């Protein structure tokens, strides 16, 4: 009973934060002299006004689920994975290379193989800062930030050099048809990547809460000294955690290449999915279900930014303000609880004991 109230309490804070973020957006729209009704109508219709709009929402959401899961998984094990961006990028390149390099394979083999190379690239990219943390005590935040930049410039070199697949453009060769993910709605870009993302969320939940290894990882995150006293190899589990977190982000990059891009494009600046994944994990309270819902929210806001600007003449930066406001309100939990006192700890715990 107490656990149910605790979950309801967190849900109340998240929902109130979203509402407050939208209210902040209304204020800025009014200050700009525009219509909030027209603006939010355009925001809604961009995703739910047509089948194509909804499928594009799914496409925007898919990579955010992967990077959000990556950040949330690491955080549940006591680590801060700020490197999901770099892991996502190398996952893209790994899948693109496998997608055109291996020829003569049936789709049933080629697709998992290409996804596997994306997973492997992300896992290795995450394992290195994990190893440095475990063996040398180097802080994973600094190392993962550094690895983001290394991924950015290393892939830039490769796609402009050894892996360049076009005479003029800095891109790889296009992946073969046998490596492309199935698009299930004709005339749209909707593909099975969203189902892979949802399956990844189910896997993370099962692994962390239903397996012995997941219990060990969470124990290390909760109290590494107590876990070590209980016989858990803390150093090994730190490496495992960062490797799995990197694999999740790398899988996201692989899905993006195999379902949408069909090749790796030179990344001249950070894509942003990895950094947005931090916000998604925060909104979702680092729980797989919360991450999925948070990813849909951010995908919805991102999808509607341009229509708000073109239809309602509202600067697309307002969406960034709304997103940032939601994150701020979730972080400022005490402030939100003043707005929803019925979900406060005082009232919630008292009711839960009845």
Q: Supply the pLDDT for residue 348.
A: 44
Q: Supply the pLDDT for residue 13.
A: 77
Nearest-10 Cα torsion for 269, 324, 222, 89: -20
- Token duo for residue 172: 């790889």
Q: Supply the pLDDT for residue 312.
A: 87
Residue keyed to tokens 């656990």: 3
Non-local CB neighbours of 27 within 8 Å, separated by 6+ positions: none
Helix (H) or strand (E) holding 308: helix 288-311
Q: Supply the pLDDT for residue 18.
A: 87
Q: Supply the pLDDT for residue 5.
A: 59
Sign of CA dihedral 248, 330, 58, 150: negative
Q: Supply the pLDDT for residue 349.
A: 40
Alpha carbons 21 and 339: distance in angstroms, whole number:
13
Q: Contacts for 171-175 with beta carbons within 8 Å, 24 or more apart?
A: 171/263, 171/264, 171/265, 171/266, 172/93, 172/96, 172/97, 172/100, 172/263, 172/264, 173/100, 173/263, 174/100, 174/262, 174/263, 175/95, 175/96, 175/99, 175/100, 175/114, 175/257, 175/258, 175/262, 175/263
Q: Supply the pLDDT for residue 15.
A: 82
Whether 316 and 308 have beta carbons less than 8 Å apart is answered as: yes
Q: Supply the pLDDT for residue 105.
A: 96
- Give whole-number Cα distances, 251 to 133, 146, 271, in Å: 23, 21, 15
pLDDT string in tens for the chain (354-residue length): 555 556 666 777 778 888 889 999 999 999 888 899 999 999 999 999 999 999 999 999 999 999 999 999 999 999 999 999 999 999 999 999 999 999 999 999 999 999 999 999 999 999 999 999 999 989 999 999 999 999 999 999 999 999 999 888 899 999 999 999 999 999 899 999 999 999 999 999 999 999 999 999 999 988 888 888 888 899 999 999 999 999 999 999 999 999 999 999 998 788 889 999 999 998 888 999 999 999 999 999 999 988 898 888 988 888 888 888 888 888 777 666 666 665 455 444 444 333
The pTM of this model reads 0.91
Alpha carbons 248 and 91: distance in angstroms, whole number:
9
Write down the domain spans for the chain. 63-313
């Amino acid at each position: 009973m107490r656990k149910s109230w605790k979950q309801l309490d967190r849900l109340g804070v998240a929902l109130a934060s979203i509402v407050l973020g939208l209210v902040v957006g209304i204020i800025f729209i009014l200050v700009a002299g525009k219509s909030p009704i027209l603006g939010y109508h355009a925001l809604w219709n961009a995703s739910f006004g047509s089948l194509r709009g909804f499928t594009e929402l799914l496409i925007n959401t898919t990579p955010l689920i992967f990077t959000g899961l990556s950040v949330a998984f690491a955080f549940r094990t006591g680590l801060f994975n700020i490197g999901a961006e770099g892991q996502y990028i190398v996952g893209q390149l790994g899948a693109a290379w496998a997608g055109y390099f291996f020829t003569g394979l049936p789709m049933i083999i080629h697709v998992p193989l290409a996804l596997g190379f994306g997973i492997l690239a992300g896992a290795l990219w995450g394992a290195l800062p994990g190893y440095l943390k475990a063996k040398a005590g180097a802080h994973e935040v600094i190392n993962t930030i550094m690895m983001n930049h290394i991924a950015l410039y290393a892939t830039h070199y490769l796609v402009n050099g050894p892996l360049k697949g076009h005479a003029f453009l800095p891109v790889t060769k296009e992946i073969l048809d046998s490596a492309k993910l199935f698009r299930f709605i004709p005339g749209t870009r909707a593909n099975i990547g969203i189902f892979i993302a949802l399956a990844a969320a189910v896997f993370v939940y099962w692994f962390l809460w239903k397996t012995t290894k997941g219990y060990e990882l969470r124990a290390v995150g909760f109290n590494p000294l107590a876990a070590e006293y209980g016989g858990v190899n803390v150093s090994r589990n730190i490496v495992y955690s960062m490797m799995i977190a990197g694999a999740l982000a790398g899988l996201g990059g692989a899905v993006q290449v195999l379902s949408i891009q069909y090749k790796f494009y030179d990344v001249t600046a950070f894509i942003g999915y990895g950094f947005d994944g931090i916000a998604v994990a925060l909104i979702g309270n680092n729980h797989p279900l919360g991450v999925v819902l948070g990813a849909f929210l951010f995908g919805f806001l991102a999808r509607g930014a341009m229509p708000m600007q073109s239809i309602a003449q509202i600067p697309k930066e307002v969406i960034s303000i709304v997103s940032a406001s939601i994150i701020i309100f979730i972080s400022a939990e005490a402030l939100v609880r003043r707005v929803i006192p019925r979900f406060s700890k005082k009232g919630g715990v008292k009711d839960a004991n009845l």
